[in-house]
Amino acid sequence: MEDHTKEKQHIVSYKENFGTWLGLMLLTALTVAVSVVNASLITLTVVTALVIATTKAILVAYYYMHLKFEPKIYRIMLLIITLLFSSFMLLTVLDYLSR
Amino acid sequence: MAHFVLPNSGHNYDPESSKLGMWLFLFTEILLFGGLFIVYFVYRTINADAFLRASYELNITMGTINTIILITSSMTVAMAITALQKGKEKFAINLLWITLLFAIAFLINKYFEWSIKIEHGIFPGMEHYNGLETGQKLYFFLYYFMTGLHALHIIVGAIFIGFVIKGIQEEKVTANRISLLENSGLYWHLVDLIWIYLFPLFYLIN
C-alpha cells in the first residue's frame, strides 16, 4: 500500500528548465523587438502577438507545468477548454466584424 | 462499544486527484481571464485607433522587466520541484524564496507603473481620464482591471508558495508527498501564462 504513494514521476532536469527559460526569453525579445523597431514593414499586429504568446504558453504548459509528462487526459482536457474558449472568441469577434 | 479506527484516517494522500483538481480550478481561471480578453478584443475591434493611442502611455521597458521577472520566477519554481524530487530540500526552499523575491519585485514595479499613471491623472474618475475619448477610457479601465486582477493572483500565488516553504521545513511536503509544491507551481505558471498574453496585448501592439 505504501508503494501507491510513490509516484513514478518524470524528473525534469535543471538543464531542461533552463532551456525552457531560454526559449521564453528569446520569444519575449522577439515580440519586444518587433514592437519597438516599428518598421513600416513589420508591425506587431494582434495576430503576430497572439501567435508568439501562444508559442510561449505552449512552452510553459508543456515543460514548466509538466504537461508533456502527464497522462494524455490532461492534454485532452486543456485542448477542450482551449477550443471552447476559441469558439466563444471567434463567434463574438465575427459578430462585431460583420455588423 | 468497540473502538473504531477508520482505514486511512488522516493519511489520505492522493497526488493524482489533487493534481486533477488543481487543473480543473486552473480551467476556471482561464475562463475568468478569457472572458476579460473577449471584452478586450471586442472593444479593440470597435476602437482600434483609440486603443493604439492609449497604449503609447504604457512604458514598454517596465513591462519587459516584469515579463523577465515572471518568466524567471517560473523557472525557479520549476527547479524547486526538480530539487525536491531529488531530495535537496534546502535548495528547493532557497529557490522558492527567490521566487517570492521575484513576486515582490514584480509588485513593486507594478506599483510604480500605476502611480506614474495616476500622477498624470489617468485613473477612472480623475480629471485627465474624464477628458479622454471613450476608446481610451475603455483601454485604461481594462488595463487597470486586468493587470489589477493579475496582481491579485500574484499575491495569492506568493502566499501559497509561502505555505509550501513552511510545509517543506516541517517535512510535510517531501519528495514522496510533493503535491502541494506541484500545485503551487501550477498556479504560479498559470499566473505567468496570463501575463504572457497581457503583456503584448496591452504594451506592444502597434
The DSSP secondary structure of B10-67, one letter per residue, reads T----HHHHHHHHHHHHHHHHHHHHHHHHHHHHHHHHTHHHHHHHHTTS-HHHHHHHH
Q: Dihedral angle at the C-alpha atoms of A53, B111, B28, A61, nearest 10 degrees?
A: 40
Which DSSP category does A34 fall into? H
Query: B121 pLDDT band (50/70/90 cuts)?
Result: confident
Q: Are B168 and B181 in contact (CB under 8 A)?
A: yes
**Residue with C-alpha cell 470597435?**
B46
Predicted confidence (pLDDT) at residue B174 exceeds the cutoff of 60: yes
The H or E element containing residue B118 is helix B89-119
A38, A49, A64 member nearest B78 (Cβ): A64
Sign of the dihedral through C-alpha B77, B26, A56, A69:
positive
Predicted confidence (pLDDT) at residue B139 exceeds the cutoff of 50: yes
Test A28 with B192 for CB contact under 8 angstroms. no
Query: A37 pLDDT band (50/70/90 cuts)?
Result: confident
Predicted confidence (pLDDT) at residue A13 exceeds the cutoff of 60: yes
Predicted confidence (pLDDT) at residue B105 exceeds the cutoff of 90: yes
Which DSSP category does B171 fall into? T
Q: What is the pLDDT of residues B162-171, one digit of tens each?
A: 999 999 999 9
Q: Are B15 and B181 in contact (CB under 8 A)?
A: no
B15, B75, B204 member nearest A49 (Cβ): B204
Interface probe for A, chosen from B82, B182, B196, B201 (most Cβ of A below 10 Å), is B196
CA angle in degrees (0–180, nearest 5) for B194-A50-B108: 35
The burial class, CB within 10 Å (0-12 / 13-18 / 19+), for B107 is middle
Q: How far is A64 from chain B (nearest CA, A)?
A: 6
C-alpha grid cell, residue B27: 480551467
pLDDT of residue B57: 85
Sign of the dihedral through C-alpha B205, A52, B28, A5:
negative
Who has greater pLDDT, B158 or B12?
B158
**Residue with C-alpha cell 493587470?**
B147
C-alpha grid cell, residue B83: 530539487
pLDDT of residue B4: 64
Query: A1 pLDDT band (50/70/90 cuts)?
Result: very low
Interface probe for A, chosen from B30, B72, B88, B205 (most Cβ of A below 10 Å), is B205
Q: Per DSSP, what are the bridge partners of residue B177?
A: B174
Q: Three-class SS of residue B174? A: strand
pLDDT of residue B111: 95
Residue B83 has, within 13 A of its CA and on its CB side, a CA count of 17
Q: What is the pLDDT of residues A40-68, one digit of tens each?
A: 555 677 788 889 999 999 999 999 999 99
pLDDT of residue A6: 45
CA atoms of B97 and B20, how far apart (whole Å)? 26
User: What residues of A are in contact with residue B192 (Cβ under 8 Å)?
Assistant: 60, 64
Query: B62 pLDDT band (50/70/90 cuts)?
Result: very high
Which DSSP category does A44 fall into? -
Mean pLDDT, all residues of chain A: 84
Alpha helix ranges (H) inside B60-88: 60-85
